[in-house]
Amino acid sequence: MDSLSLLGDGLASAATPENLLYAAIGVLLGTFVGVLPGIGPAMAVALLLPVTAGLEVTQAFIMFAGIYYGGMYGGSTTSILLNTPGESASVMTAIEGNKMAKKGRAAQALATAAVGSFIAGTLGTLGVVFFAPALASIAVDIGAPSYFAITVMSLVLVTAVLGSSKLRGFIALFLGLMIGLVGLDLNTGQPRLSFGTTQLADRLDVVVVAVGIFALGEALWVAAHLRRTPLQITPVGQPFLGRDDWRRSWGPWLRGTALGFPFGAIPAGGAETPTFLSYLAEKKLTKHPEEFGNGAIEGVAGPEAANNASAAGTLVPLLALGLPVTATASIMLAALQGYGIVPGPQLMSEQPDLVWTLLASLLIGNTLLLIINLPLAPAWARLLRIPRPQLYAGILFFASLGAYATNLDPFDIFLLLVFGLLGLAMRRFGIPVLPLILGVILGPLMETKLREALTISDGSPSALVGEPLAVVVYVFIVLAVAGPPLVRRLRGSGSDSDTPEREKELV
Amino acid sequence: MTETRTPPVPEAPQRAVRQDRAQLGLAALLLAAGAYTVIDATTLEVGFADPVGPRLFPYVVGSVLVVLSVLLAVAALRGDVPEADAGEDVDLTQPSDWTTVAKLVGVLLFTIVTVDLLGWAISGALLFTGAAWSLGSRTLIRDVIAGFVLSVASWYAFYVGLGIPLTPGILDGIL
């Protein structure tokens, strides 16, 4: 109940007419950028961060919340209308969503996605309201050794559990950790990996790194492989849901939310697993099994809700521990740091008004999203027809503008180009992006905690396992990484057929 | 879940014999990066009262990168082929078009060199026009106009809306 009254205060301070205007602008910009093909939510948020630069904290948060949910919703629009999901979390939405669109039910697919996102986003944000303070109050007592263990856990899980090639995952992670080293050492003030330049010694701007890897890297990759044949785009009418659609959607919305939120809140959960599980669950539970594979509305409603609930769930570790677990969350962390806010256990007690304003802004942004975007859906669909040369030229333009505007230094555009080329190489060589971004962001934090822990023990490494929680976390990491292959080996012992698969896993 | 990736890689049937030698270049790059990280760390001074010091982390990160580069080289030689990124506008059935990428990099380098002199309004417009042209647009006049509208509008949006004066360059006093 305490949380609710604090949220009420947050709503009161967030819901002024001026702030609502910023939220609306954020929703519009976020959806606009998110709908553009080739741009996922993480990229939309990174590209639009500079827009919030000159605003005061509250307004920036509110606009940011709009951008966040808008970018997510825009991504699902693209996957329903184009059948080529921009990110793995939308794969499930695209399966049934595009089939619905082809049967002339694009409007219903977009509507169930929008309402489902709204319900999941609202319930998920309320979940954050209840869980984040509880987790933070436990986390306040966590010492440096356990904190170090938890960062190791989130990095290892994201790298080893997600993605198809572990080797490439770890390459991405350690490249990210290396990028995170660039700049002044936080303890001794000596520049590392700075090539004698002051701009590098000043530490890299995470936004420049993220925009380079996500936006410019993607644009260059697309440029090398631009599809010359136009895609099939389904025209959209006014989105609405018939009585039957409502009846069939509400169950999947709620079940998707229940699946998505916990997966978002744990490291390495991400949105892929819950969207997949939600799709399977709806396929099992549906009264219209014959429609699955031919455009069943449940197959859009469930995964879309799971996707949004998991996005809200990622805010629990982000706000309570300062741990981002998805690419979008890591960019949000960078944005918060830009305002001098360090998410972590202390944030809830030291700057509660900020946290509650942010959470209230998310609720407002989510509501505006529904109000604004349902009527605008046909207009968004038209964005998919922008000619590709101009579209990607625009992405290059805005990426450069974003990098340049922060310090007005052409060197930042140069850095953007360097990271863009790195992003291009990563896409060419199948190296995942998420471990790299997490490495950049969590690397410095990890090093700080490691040195803190070892300074207390005067350099003895036994301090790292000096707390029970740290030991538990390390055991969990070993189980999570070694467990699945071990189980597979025990089950498949004696049969030769699984050997090549196992080999593939090792590489 | 990955089965839905479009389009299928055409060379999949002869996968066993095919090698992706370009990965060796990436491995060499990783090796260089890892080695440099370690060498750079040796130049750091360790303060007292800091048992870990600024060296340990770069040592670990650099050495692991070196190990990973060797593993990647071995995997590449054994015929491990990366799964290139799919996407809405990506057509992996066509051979890579690196000329377009080189043109775009050239356009960005031009922007980096000229933005302080010409100012954002002109450099940004040229960036947009050049990038659109590199990507195959042949409506030059329309692109120039669109580029100028974007760059002048963004200049005013940042100046009036956010209070950030982007470099005016040679248009100083006109904007």
Report the candidate in A155, A55, A164 with the shortest Cα–Cα distance to residue A446.
A155
Angle between helical axes of A217-224 and B98-118 (0-180°, round to 10): 140
pLDDT of residue A488: 77
A303 CB neighbours in chain B (<8 A) are none
In angstroms, the Cα distances linking A453 to A141, A155, A163, A456, B3 are 14, 19, 32, 6, 45
pLDDT of residue A86: 59
User: Quick check: A10 and A365 in contact, CB under 8 A?
Assistant: no
Q: What span, in angstroms and rounded, lies between the C-alpha atoms of B124 and B112?
A: 10
Angle between helical axes of A352-383 and A17-35 (0-180°, round to 10): 50
pLDDT of residue A119: 93
Phi, psi (rounded to 5 degrees) for A466: -80, -10
Higher-pLDDT residue of A322, A418: A418
Give A342 to chain B, closest Cα distance, Å: 22
Higher-pLDDT residue of A492, B60: B60
For the segment B128-141, the average pLDDT, to the nearest whole number, is 91
Q: What span, in angstroms and rounded, lies between the C-alpha atoms of A112 and A247?
A: 11
Residue A503 has pLDDT above 50, yes or no: no
In angstroms, the Cα distances linking A443 to A30, A34, B30, B61, B76 are 29, 29, 18, 10, 28
User: In the A/B pair of chains, how many CB contacts fall below 8 A?
Assistant: 247
Q: What span, in angstroms and rounded, lies between the C-alpha atoms of B65 and A266?
A: 28
Pairing of strands A183-184, A191-192: antiparallel
Residue B37 in contact with partner chain A when CB distance is under 8 A: yes
Give A417 to chain B, closest Cα distance, Å: 7
* Structure tokens that stand for A94 in this block: 């695209």
pLDDT in tens, A8-60: 887 877 778 888 888 888 888 888 888 877 677 777 888 887 777 777 877 88
Residue B126 in contact with partner chain A when CB distance is under 8 A: no
CB atoms closer than 10 angstroms to residue A414:
18
Interface of B with A in 155-174 (CB under 8 A): 158, 161-164, 166-167
Q: What does the DSSP 8-state code read for residue A498?
A: G
pLDDT of residue A494: 47
Report the residue of chain B nearest A447, measured CA to CA.
Answer: B57
pLDDT in tens, B57-111: 899 999 999 999 999 999 988 888 888 777 667 777 778 889 999 999 999 999 9
Report the residue of chain B nearest A280, measured CA to CA.
Answer: B1
* Structure tokens that stand for A62 in this block: 């509110």
Range ranked top by mean pLDDT from A33-37, A54-58, A467-471, A480-484: A467-471
Band the pLDDT of B138: cuts 50, 70, 90: confident
Residue B90, strand partner residues: A226
pLDDT of residue A222: 87
Q: Torsion-angle region of residue B4: left (phi > 0), alpha (psi -120 to 50) or beta?
A: alpha
Residue B45 in contact with partner chain A when CB distance is under 8 A: yes
Q: Torsion-angle region of residue B85: left (phi > 0), alpha (psi -120 to 50) or beta?
A: beta
User: Quick check: A219 and A395 in contact, CB under 8 A?
Assistant: yes
- Interacting residues of B13 by C-beta distance below 8 A, sequence separation 6+: none
CB atoms closer than 10 angstroms to residue A349:
12
Q: What span, in angstroms and rounded, lies between the C-alpha atoms of A378 and A503?
A: 49
Angle between helical axes of A2-14 and A57-82 (0-180°, round to 10): 90
pLDDT in tens, A166-185: 899 999 999 999 999 998 88
Coil vs helix vs strand at A325: coil
Q: What span, in angstroms and rounded, lies between the C-alpha atoms of A124 and A354?
A: 19
Q: Supply the pTM of this predicted model.
A: 0.82
Interface predicted TM-score (ipTM) of this complex, two decimals: 0.86
pLDDT in tens, A410-453: 999 999 999 999 999 998 998 988 889 889 888 888 888 888 88
Residue A257 has pLDDT above 60, yes or no: yes
Give A444 to chain B, closest Cα distance, Å: 10
